[in-house]
Amino acid sequence: MKNFFYYLKSRPLAIASFVILIILYLLMGFAEFAAPYPATMSFPDKTYHPPNVRYHDGKFVSQECYVINTVNWKYVRIKDHYSAIAFFGKGEPYKLWGIIPMNRHLYTSEKDAYPVFLMGTDSLGRDLFSRIVYGSRISLTIGFIATAISLLLSIIFGGIAGYFGGKTDWTIMRFSEFFMLIPGLYLILFLRSLLSSRMDSGQTYMMITLILSLVGWPGSARTIRGMVHAIKREEFIQNSQLEMIPSGVIIFSHIIPQIASLLIVSVALSVPGFIMTETTLSYLGLGITDPAVSWGSLIKRDISTIANLIAYPWLLSPVWFLLAVTLGFNFIGDALRDYYDPYHTVFPKHIFSKIRFWKTRDTSNQIKNEQAPINSDASGLITASRLLIVKELNVSFSVLRGSSYINVQAVRGVSFTVAKGETLGIVGESGSGKSVSTSAIPALLPKNAGVTGSVLYEGKEIINLPIKEMREYRGKKIGMIFQEPGRSYDPLQNIGNVFFETFRNSMPGIKKAEAFEKAEALLKETGLADMGKRFSNFPHQFSGGQLQRISIALALAQGCELLIADEPTTALDVTIQKQIIELLKTLRRKRQISIIFISHDIDLVADISDRIVVMYGGLVMETLDSSLIKSTKDDRGPRLHPYTKALLAASPSFGSHYSKAPLEVIPGRVTDPANPEPGCPFAPRCPVSSDECRKTIPPIKTRGENHEIRCIY
């Protein structure tokens, strides 16, 4: 929550709402002190008195008024007749919280002076501000109490229904639907009308609170039930069940905390809803009545006709307090929603104009490009066989940390090319910039990403293309498959509809039967025969290997020329990994498509790729032929980048065993893209680094044909 207060600094409406709510609840808690007069105190000769607080001669005073018509209560102000307002002065005696005897008030009129009416008086000459302050005790507390009871019922019933399922779930949900079938306000009015009209104010307050709580829990319970139903399948919940932890402990100690953000936002939005409902009941005469006072009863008593409002506009004051509370909780709720749900955070437009991409810290840190461009001919012209050319690609994310936005420099000056029919491998640890670099090609990065540089596809610049033009490349020219196939599909859409939707994107007039025929041929090509009968199946009815083959078929459905495979084998077992790799090799050979293959496994990348790009800290550390990897463990082999060697050493080889020698690891931690090192990002972990490595980023150097390295060593 300390971070939340920093976050509030970027949300001025939320800050203003927070301050207003604090002030209102302080007034409520110290009502006797804040109000100059008791709620029932009347000034009979000052009925409908207008507000009379003025700022005169450097101080606040109350101006005296004279009534000129007692029929419609018209007043005129008496010129130069002012009475001093005493701040923290003595006034009507009272007991603070019913315990502490006091007679000091926040402000009041001096003894025997003209009364002070900050917001005027009502039809009985009672100070309206005092009544609003006292009325806040019912209006503001009823929202919290009703919300607390409703939330507790929601957690209990929703948690039990979602966790146990079966008949318990069916019974609780049908019971909640009974309450939801009837519109909430009508049900509240019906339940209230059944109660005695001769209840005192305390009984009325309690009954209204209970009615609001009983009506408010079903909707939240259904939401909680759905989330609990999903969370109970997580492995840590299953482990708790295996350890024989009681169900109640699992629900309240392990599952409910997972949805704490939802509950906090629910509270922020429920409180003003219950306050408005109480106001409505009181306005209709079914809520709080005299001598007790609430904002709803004030509105009912004082706002009787439009003519009354026109003549005495200050009677509308309770409405402004009600709106302030409602809007305040809504703005706080919006801030809580965005704070706890970063995937839906709305980034202010001005943030993007302030994004600056990290290229140099000073002129000595520049990534020099004095050598000939990668994969170019002697004249410097890109050869016609190059399908994709990425040059000086920079990607930075605008991220809120504390009260300000920072730029996370995920990719810094990345350059590589992909030839037609070639497989390019990209390898590196998590956070190296592999996926970000390739996701920038078809513009699949989130809204808070800024991209600069150049991406040429068949000689045409596609960086920062409008969405309509980029759709001509997505799927039709550039296909993509992702790491976890199960998360690439809508769980409510069967596979047949997925293929139909994909084909219709490139062939709008295609019929479903024709789309299924094409899909069956593609699936057969990817190793899934006789799939025509399974088009009605949903994603969860396929294995991980089958889903990945379906993903490849979908990527090929629109005839893509470049296939980006972002760690397509990571979530699969070793046998299926081998099958997917062989499938990609076969498709490349038969279709002559180009492939960008991303993985953490450098041996796997060397097996499938023609060339390998090694990335670290958003930089290309080395580009080399995959054939060179095979001789790296031989002392007579080529000298590679220390990071490439570290990746190879950390990769287990066939026949290795922990009893012979422990598996090597790369010491230290991956560089922080929000605060990159001034020099080589691998220098803090490199066994051969020097002081010079930590000062400047080494330039790319050519060490032979198709071998480039960024290393002083």
CA dist list (Å): 629 to 17, 189, 214, 602, 649: 61, 78, 69, 9, 12
Query: DSSP assignment of 274-288, as one string?
Result: HHHHHHHHHHTTSS-
Q: Which residues contact 455 (CB under 8 A, 6 or more apart)?
A: 388, 389, 390, 391, 393, 440, 441, 461, 462, 463
**CATH entry 3.40.50.300 includes domain 350-477+560-713:** yes
In this structure, of 525-534, 626-635, 661-670, the range with the lowest mean pLDDT score is: 626-635
Q: Which stretch of DSSP H or E encloses residue 646?
A: helix 642-650
Report residue 519's pLDDT band, with 50, 70 and 90 as the boundaries.
very high
Contact (CB, 8 A) for 22 and 337:
no
Q: Taking the CB of residue 188, how many other CB atoms lie within 10 A of it?
A: 22
More confident residue, 214 or 634: 214
pLDDT tens column, 496-516: 988 998 888 778 889 999 999
CA dist list (Å): 17 to 47, 326, 331, 438, 560: 34, 10, 7, 43, 52
- What per-residue confidence (pLDDT) applies to 260? 77
pLDDT tens column, 294-311: 888 888 777 767 777 888
Residue 352 pLDDT more than 50?
no
- What per-residue confidence (pLDDT) applies to 669? 86
pLDDT tens column, 603-643: 888 889 999 999 999 999 999 998 887 665 544 456 789 99
Residue 365 pLDDT more than 60?
no
Strand runs labelled E in 559-610 = 562-566, 594-599
Residue 373 pLDDT more than 80?
no
pLDDT tens column, 590-604: 989 999 999 988 888
Report residue 11's pLDDT band, with 50, 70 and 90 as the boundaries.
confident
- Superfamily the domain 142-317 falls into: MetI-like (1.10.3720.10)
Report residue 262's pLDDT band, with 50, 70 and 90 as the boundaries.
confident
CA dist list (Å): 602 to 634, 638, 697: 17, 16, 24
In this structure, of 239-243, 257-261, 264-268, 554-558, the range with the lowest mean pLDDT score is: 239-243
Report residue 179's pLDDT band, with 50, 70 and 90 as the boundaries.
confident
Domain segments of the chain: what residues?
A: 2-37+45-130, 142-317, 350-477+560-713, 484-559
* pLDDT mean across residues, the chain: 82
More confident residue, 520 or 370: 520
Please tell me the chain's helix, strand, coil percentages from 3-state DSSP, rounded to the nearest 5: 45, 20, 35
- What per-residue confidence (pLDDT) applies to 412? 92
Contact (CB, 8 A) for 463 and 451:
yes
Alpha-carbon distance of 297 to 288, in angstroms, equals: 6
Report residue 391's pLDDT band, with 50, 70 and 90 as the boundaries.
very high
Residue 202 pLDDT more than 80?
no
Q: Which stretch of DSSP H or E encloses residue 153?
A: helix 128-164
In this structure, of 1-5, 484-488, 569-573, the range with the lowest mean pLDDT score is: 1-5
For residue 276, give both structure tokens.
């408005």
More confident residue, 405 or 438: 438
More confident residue, 32 or 401: 32
CA 566, distance to chain mean position in Å, is 24
- What per-residue confidence (pLDDT) applies to 360? 35
Contact (CB, 8 A) for 24 and 324:
yes
Burial 88-117 (b: 16+ CB within 10 A, else e): ebebeebeeeeeeeeebbbbbbeeebbbbb
Query: DSSP assignment of 421-463, as one string?
Result: T-EEEEE--TTSSHHHHHHTTTT-S-TTEEEEEEEEETTEE-T
- What per-residue confidence (pLDDT) applies to 200? 67
Average pLDDT of the segment spanning 66-72: 85
Give the angle subtended at the CA of 526 by the CAs of 483 and 417, to the nearest 5°. Answer: 55
Residue 678 pLDDT more than 70?
yes
DSSP class of residue 55 equals E
Q: Taking the CB of residue 270, how many other CB atoms lie within 10 A of it?
A: 25
Average pLDDT of the segment spanning 562-588: 85
Residue 355 pLDDT more than 60?
no
- What per-residue confidence (pLDDT) applies to 446? 82
For residue 28, give both structure tokens.
């409520």
pLDDT tens column, 273-295: 888 887 777 777 777 777 778 88
Average pLDDT of the segment spanning 112-135: 90
In this structure, of 40-49, 111-120, 195-204, the range with the lowest mean pLDDT score is: 195-204
Sign of CA dihedral 641, 647, 649, 654: negative
**What is the share, in percent, of the chain residues with pLDDT greater than 90?**
24
Report residue 437's pLDDT band, with 50, 70 and 90 as the boundaries.
very high
* Most confident option among 266-280, 341-355, 376-390, 436-450: 436-450
More confident residue, 452 or 628: 452
- Beta strands 594-599 and 562-566 are parallel
For residue 647, give both structure tokens.
């990746």
